[in-house]
Each structure stands twice: as C-alpha cells, then as structure tokens.
Amino acid sequence: MDARDTRNEERDWLIAGYVRKPHGVHGDVLVEILTDFPERLAEGVRFGLGPESGPETFHEVHNVRYHKGQWLLGVRGIREREVIETWRGSYLFLPEQSLDELPEGYYYEHHLVGLRCLSPTGEPLGEVTAMETDTPQARLVVRRGRREFLVPYVPEIVTEVDLEAGTVIVDAPPGLLDDDEASGA
C-alpha cells in the first residue's frame, strides 16, 4: 500500500507506539509500545506515522515481533534503513477500537475526560479532567473548584461509567475526596 494513500485519515487514530530507531540493515524499526493492547499490531495491519498531533503517512505491517519489551517491526514495501531513520521520534498510530471491541470496563482517556463525577447518592463530586496512566494504578484526575483529587481507577471505587449520561459514579472511601480547605487543615 502506498504511504500517500489517505483513505484512513477520516478514522480516529490513537497513539500506540513511539519510533525509537532502525534495527539492522533490512528496514526493520524498533518501536516503544505505548498501548494496553500490543497484540493489535500484527501482520497486515494498517498503521499511521506522524507527530503527536496525528498520523501523516500510512503503512502496512509486514511482520512484527517482540524485542526487549518493544516491537521490532518490518513494514511492507520498505527495506531501506535510510527511510526508517527519518521516522525516528515519530509516533505510531492505530485506529481507535469501538467501545464494543474493548474489554468490559475499559475506556479511552478521551471518553472519560469531561464526565461529571457523582457519589452513589448523586452528590456532585467534580469533573474528570485527565487520567494518569504512568503509574502502576491508573487514576482519574477529578477537579472540584480549584482542587484536584486523584481517584484510583478500580471497580471498587469507580463503580459505574455512563457515557450517555456523561457521568462517572465514584464510591470514594473516607478521606479520598476530603477538601482540606473546608475541614480547616
């Protein structure tokens, strides 16, 4: 497939990897894995390359294997190390999966940001402004007024996500969402 073919630009693409460097002399490339679903990058899969803002060129996987916790990727039709060298520092994008293709209880960050947080009794707790995934346990960042709270994204605390209603139910243990300013601390 031609790298200039832009048929898939209308799809939503998500960052799945970061191009590190060429590997060997036959056009393979080492890619840091940045996705929860690395198995999605497989032979024949179409992927995009570009800056963090989105893919600019599209290619097809010839082969992929794991090498020291990263993808070692061969790209169909590209065997020149010099071409791969120009990709260094680019992001690798895969098409977004639809919600029904995701595991139960899994949502992309952009699905959660902007949702209103409510207690199980319907009391407003704030709004999700981000999701931190660079820690062993993913956490929602919930803003209430000028304060931000980190809420562990576990089913015991985040008990329900309702995208249609635009809400997330947070059953916070005591102290998790306490407002120090209100308690005089």
pLDDT in tens, 56-77: 999 999 999 999 999 999 999 9
Segment holding 17, helix H or strand E = strand 13-23
Question: What separation in angstroms does the CA of 113 have from each of 56, 108, 129, 168, 183?
Answer: 26, 9, 5, 10, 28
Average pLDDT score, the chain? 86
pTM: 0.64
CA–CA gap between residue 111 and residue 56 (Å, rounded): 24
Give alpha helix (H) positions in 40-185: 81-85, 109-112, 180-183
C-beta separation of 101 from 108 below 8 A = no
Q: Is 134 helix (H, G, I), strand (E, B) or coil?
A: coil
- Write the pLDDT tens digit of every residue in 92-147: 999 887 766 777 777 888 889 999 999 999 999 999 999 887 778 889 999 999 99
Query: How many helices (DSSP H) and strands (DSSP E) are in the chain?
Result: 3, 12
pLDDT for the residue numbered 5? 43
Q: Is 31 helix (H, G, I), strand (E, B) or coil?
A: strand
Residue 1 has pLDDT above 50, yes or no: no
Bridge-based pairing state of the strands 70-75 and 46-50 = unpaired
Residue 53 has pLDDT above 70, yes or no: yes
Residues 6+ apart with CB under 8 A from 182: none
Residue type, 59: H
CA–CA gap between residue 172 and residue 94 (Å, rounded): 34
Tokens of 118: 């409510």
- Write the pLDDT tens digit of every residue in 80-98: 989 999 999 999 999 887 7
Which domains occur in the chain, in start order?
7-98 (2.40.30.60), 109-177 (2.30.30.240)
